[in-house]
Structure 1
Amino acid sequence: MNTPAGLAATPLGKAAGIVRDYVLRMYYVVDEVPRRQRLRLTPLLLGVEYLVYRVDSLAERNAAVDLDAVRGSDYEAFHTYKKAFEKVLRLLRAWNDDVAFLVDEAERFIRLENGTTSRGTVARDDILAMVELRPTDVRLLRAMTFALRGRAMDPATRDLLWPVEVLADIANDLRHYEQDVAAGTLNVYAAFVKLFGDAAASELRREVDRYEAMFLERLSALPPERRARVADVCRRRYAEAVGPYPRTAGHRPAPAPAPASPSGTALRKGVAVGGALTVGVLAAVAYRRGRTPPVSQTSIPLPPHIERGRTS
């Protein structure tokens, strides 16, 4: 675990990789965030992404259990995480309508993934719905940077990045295809192989071409002086999606998770939620140090309910 590879596989290591690849190398560049602000924002975003990976561990642990049908302690843990998450973001003043919407989208993805994997059958539409929702965590990080800076998010840039985030997620699955197959974890290419066999690569390539065409069309609306720079940083994120695909591997079934005692599950939940709150509070303290006292929690109005469809 103390090796670089071992540390990278931990929730904190994974979170650091996401912040590096998406926030530092893409979002800050596309959104032209000043360097001084980057130093202030990055530790907070790392803490939030760490919480996301803690929640994701619940979904992985319950891949074979439909949490909506079997309402055990992990079902309740999702709600506990969400409430704690919102409290931390409000304390940091990193909460706005866009953030609220994406927190709901993250829960929708977790439930979609859990419901699909627990059934054991995945249709093409299910796969595409999940791959389009799965980047919600990185979209949340970007929305937070705007909330923390007190700025409104530009809808055109948000829509421009939407297919890039989907393509980057597909690229990540292609990069980790054999590893995911061996571990029995959800992988879009592996799912296409199960559905289409030898035609999997061409079927997935068709979807990749569709998403990339969407990106290029929206990219053309940018001013020429920004277009090349944005195209460069975005294409780096999804390079594997448009390159050669890996050879298909034998799909071994995932090992059945060992049953956990109720007390063990409750203990894990308590530790996870406690850790989440600790990270959030420490981040809040660091962020607020030297600034004016925070506004009382009760004085912050709840955001209005937002109705949005999936970005086309």
Structure 2
Amino acid sequence: MNGLARLAATPLGKAVGITRDYVSRLYYVVDEVPRGQRLRLTPVLLAVEYLVYRVDSLAERNTEVDLDAERTSDYEAFHTYKRAFEKVLRRVGAWNEDVAFLVDEAERFIRLENATTSRGTLTRGDFLALVELRPTDVRLLRAMTFALRGRPMPPETRDLLWPVEVLADIANDLRHYEQDVALGTLNVYAAFVRLYGDTAAAELRREVDRYESMFLERLSALPAERRARVAEVCRRRYEAAVRPYPRTITAPPAPAPPPPPGGTRPRGRVAVGAVLTAASLAAAAYGLRRFRPSHPTPALRTPRGHLA
């Protein structure tokens, strides 16, 4: 693995990729954020996404441990992160009811993912629930942009983007299907293969078609002059979900090679990540004070999606 690929696989590299693909190339375009504001918003959003990936590392190393049942030190770490997260976001003016709702949704996803992977009893509904909750981190970034700008989040574009975010998550699993199978990572297509065998692609395509129909129906409510541009940037995010699916892997994969020395996530790195994030947010706060909200945004409602 070369240096750039190795960097892209780190929490920082992943955070940069997510911020670029979702914030810069999707949310800023759909929400028509002025360029000057983008320069001030992006460092804070990048720092938050980095912290999200550090928290996610706790879930990754506990896939076989039911944290609610065993109450390990990582169980307490989730609560510690959440309290620190809220404190920092309040300090920089990036906290409102929408953000608070999504922070709770992020914790719900982490606990649901841990419960399902540690207990091993997964149904179609379980996987779809995970897929619908998994984009919570990017939804959180979008909610923060409105909090920092002191604006309410328009419900029509929030509803419009909800299925796009789900489709983009499915597309990501399809792109990484073989890699995830080899590593034993949770992957919705691999899950459908286990549940449905040779008909997995058709079953997953049914769900993709349902989410895309939801998006297209909501897109029609936008002003005509905006539809083409919004459709373009949204479809770009989920394009892999509507292309031909990968060939299914039926034979057990060869064991993944062990991580190199120092490749695991020692507890100290998690602490350093939290400190770096807090410092980054504090440094960015100075230039963002003008965006402090003067009034709270209306509460975010439960996501609009229904399992089949």
- The alignment's TM-score, normalised by the length of structure 2, stands at 0.90
CA separation of 1:277 and 1:220: change in aligned 2, threshold 3 A:
same
1:191-206 paired onto structure 2 within 5 Å: 191-206=191-206
Task: Indicate the residue corresponding to 2:32 in structure 1.
Answer: 32
Question: How far apart, in 2, do the equivalents of 1:185 and 1:291 lie?
Answer: 40
CA separation of 1:146 and 1:289: change in aligned 2, threshold 3 A:
closer
Query: Are 1:74 and 1:269, in contact at CA under 8 Å, matched by a contact in 2?
Result: no
Q: CA RMSD in A?
A: 2.6
Question: How far apart, in 2, do the equivalents of 1:290 and 1:133 lie?
Answer: 29
Task: Give deviations 1:165-218, integer Å, cap 9, x for gaps.
Answer: 000000000000000001100000000000000010000000000000000000
- Counterpart secondary structure, 2:178: helix
1:141-290 paired onto structure 2 within 5 Å: 141-249=141-249, 250-252=251-253, 268-269=266-267, 271-288=269-286
Cα offset, 1:282, TM superposition: 2.8
Query: Are 1:88 and 1:277, in contact at CA under 8 Å, matched by a contact in 2?
Result: no
Task: Indicate the residue corresponding to 1:76 in structure 2.
Answer: 76
Task: Give deviations 1:37-64, integer Å, cap 9, x for gaps.
Answer: 0000111111000000001110010000
Query: Are 2:148 and 2:288, in contact at CA under 8 Å, matched by a contact in 1?
Result: no
Query: Are 1:94 and 1:148, in contact at CA under 8 Å, matched by a contact in 2?
Result: yes
Query: Are 2:116 and 2:122, in contact at CA under 8 Å, matched by a contact in 1?
Result: yes
Task: Indicate the residue corresponding to 1:6 in structure 2.
Answer: 6
- Counterpart secondary structure, 1:238: helix
Unaligned 5+ segments in structure 2 are none
Question: How far apart, in 2, do the equivalents of 1:42 and 1:254 lie?
Answer: 39
Query: Are 1:84 and 1:277, in contact at CA under 8 Å, matched by a contact in 2?
Result: no
Higher relative contact order (CA 8 A, sep 6+): 2
Q: Where in structure 1 do 4 or more consecutive aligned residues deviate above 2 Å?
A: 250-255, 267-271, 289-292, 303-310
Query: Are 2:40 and 2:284, in contact at CA under 8 Å, matched by a contact in 1?
Result: no
1:94-173 paired onto structure 2 within 5 Å: 94-173=94-173
CA separation of 1:180 and 1:222: change in aligned 2, threshold 3 A:
same
Query: Are 2:151 and 2:297, in contact at CA under 8 Å, matched by a contact in 1?
Result: no
CA separation of 1:290 and 1:253: change in aligned 2, threshold 3 A:
closer
- Counterpart secondary structure, 1:287: helix
CA separation of 1:307 and 1:211: change in aligned 2, threshold 3 A:
closer
AA matched with 1:157: T
Task: Indicate the residue corresponding to 1:309 in structure 2.
Answer: 302
AA matched with 1:273: A
Cα offset, 1:254, TM superposition: 7.5
Query: Are 1:168 and 1:237, in contact at CA under 8 Å, matched by a contact in 2?
Result: yes
Query: Are 1:63 and 1:114, in contact at CA under 8 Å, matched by a contact in 2?
Result: yes
Question: How far apart, in 2, do the equivalents of 1:99 and 1:290 lie?
Answer: 17
Question: How far apart, in 2, do the equivalents of 1:231 and 1:157 lie?
Answer: 12
AA matched with 2:119: R
Question: How far apart, in 2, do the equivalents of 1:159 and 1:289 lie?
Answer: 30
Question: How far apart, in 1, do the equivalents of 2:34 and 2:15 lie?
Answer: 22
Unaligned 5+ segments in structure 1 are 259-264, 295-299
- Counterpart secondary structure, 1:284: helix
